[in-house]
Amino acid sequence: MIVPGDLDDLKRVAQIDRSGMRELLLRFPEQLARAWQLSVSVPDFERLIVCGMGGSAVGGDYLRVYLTHKRFPKPVFVIRGYELPPFADANTLIFAVSYSGNTEETLSCVAEAVERDCHWAALTSDGRLAELARAHGAPIIQIPKGMPPRTALGYLFLPMLKSLQCFLDESAVETELTEALDALKKLAARYAEAPEAENPAERLAHAWHGHIPIIYGSHGLTDVVARRWKAQINENAEAPAFCNVVPELQHNELMGWEHEPHRELFVYTLLRDPDEHPQIKRRFELSRSFLEDQGSLVLEFSGEGEGLLARLLSLSYLGDWASFYLAILYARDPTPVPLIDTLKARLTQ
Ligand code: PA5
């Protein structure tokens, strides 16, 4: 049984974190710096599609939000499935992203990309995807092997942004990245070492412990981080969690808030950002007061820094650490994902 303060006991944490997730989290800022060195050259294009699943799709989400927020004039889509949309053609740039290189949905999209003569590049550590790229002469962004995909967010996001930097204000992106790296280095020390009373990641894990975290983000901004936090809780802590998006959730989900038998079960976690639309700001504030009035626990977080990269990545990083500590509280080694592996193995039988 874990009691308050136990998360500060590094020996105890290491006994549960047998596969070394803490070390990977600590090295995340360093990963971002390395990832920024990787890119491929891309031709001009009319639309961009990122194909990937799970941990390998998340980088596409961050890319889409970043580009859209910077008013990038071409449409950006993230496809989590077996088929490309009908509009994918020779003027479409595709990043096929799979950490392992063996994810069947992504490989199926690549087969379609080849058939439709799309310009495509692979972002992978290995596997069939790397083989296909070599066979078809497609560029490969080769990332290091041996990590759980979800810990490789830097590698699965920044090389795509770097490859597209020539379409953006290059020096502004560099400045944002430098700010993000500085912010994350400071946060790494804080989340890893600060005692519980001063450690937001540990405190958040305690708040979630024994409850179901519900994470709300704002449309086109922190919704991607909410999805990431949910998935990190699922995979790291092997626990259920759900996410939704403001304003859509206020047209349906809020009707369930008053359902008395389940009130105690959930902890509502709101992910805020200074660039929220003014009405989204009001919607968050009203939601918070509705939920608190009925006695629900509501927590609120936003990213650190001025630039969008720092804000998104730092907020994301808090979720990485909080889900790691939640795994420790549930006495789960945060790294293995046995059920995902079993399902993939059964699908190939
Ligand atoms: O976190 C995970 O292990 C999964 O979500 C994987 O990322 C997902 O199954 C896709 O595999 P890959 O990232 O190797 O393409």
User: Residues 206-221: pLDDT tens digits?
Assistant: 999 999 999 999 999 9
Among 51, 56, 151, which is best to mutate for testing ligand 1, by the most ligand atoms less than 8 A from CB?
56
What's the rounded mean pLDDT across residues 296-309?
Answer: 97
Burial of residue 198 (CB within 10 Å: 0-12, 13-18, 19+) is exposed
The answer on pLDDT for 108 being more than 70 is yes
What are the phi and psi torsion angles at 211 (to 5°)?
-125, 175
How high does pLDDT run on average in the chain?
Answer: 96
C-beta 99 within 6 A of ligand 1: yes
User: Mean of the pLDDT values across residues 306-334?
Assistant: 97
- State whether the beta carbon of 337 lies less than 6 angstroms from ligand 1: yes
Strand, coil or helix: what is 348?
coil
Scan for tokens 């912010």, then name that residue: 183
Ligand 1 pocket residue status of 98, Cβ below 6 Å: yes
For tokens 């450690």, what's the residue?
199
Instruction: Give the rounded distance of the alpha carbon of 79 from its chain centre.
Output: 15
Q: What percent of the chain has pLDDT over 90?
A: 95
Give me the mean pLDDT over the 224-251 stretch.
Answer: 98
Q: Does the beta carbon of 53 sit less than 6 angstroms from any atom of ligand 1?
A: yes
CA-nearest residue for atom 5, ligand 1, is: 54
Which one, of 37, 63, 68, 36, lies nearest residue 50 by Cα?
63
Amino acid at 307: G
Give the distance (Å) from ligand 1 centre to CA of residue 223. 20
Distance between CA atoms of residues 110 and 203, nearest Å:
43
Catalytic residues: 235, 251, 344
160-187 residue pLDDT tens = 999 999 999 999 999 999 999 999 999 9
Q: What number does the ligand 1 atom closest to the CA of 56 have?
A: 13
C-beta of 149 in contact with ligand 1 (< 6 A): yes
Which pLDDT does position 41 carry in this prediction?
94
